[in-house]
A = this chain, B = another copy of it.
């Protein structure tokens, strides 16, 4: 479970959209890049992926932007990481599959599973709530 900048930004964007979900108006890319310093054209790419997943909806034209189109209680950081991140190749090697190698693979898998379990419990809504309770400065709007 490697967290690239791409995955991190995707999560930032999803959280930002989740926070502003109650508001009726969509959130412009510009607003996210200003607030979080994410490189604009890069964020565009990422939002495209999120839209392809059906997690986000885009509204074109003036006053346009993005809106969350899923229930934030159902999406976890794990979902985002697995959908946006690289496909967990898991160590491409030329070596033989010996018993030792197999045993090690099991360990790598156990370790990966452990971190998946952590991220799989962090829902967007959970994080939003935590942000709003824990620190008032997170509560814009």
Contact = CB atoms under 8 A, between A and B. Distances in A.
A2 interface: yes
Contacts of A116: 111
Contacts of A104: 8, 11-12, 15, 77
A108 B93 CA distance: 26
Number of copies: 2
A95 B12 contact: yes
Contacts of A118: 107, 110-111, 114
Given A103-B130, A118-B114, A5 B36 contact: no
Contacts of A95: 8-9, 12, 36-38
Interface of A: 1-5, 8-9, 11-12, 15-16, 35-39, 77, 90-96, 98-101, 103-104, 107-108, 110-112, 114-119, 122, 127, 130-131, 135, 137-138
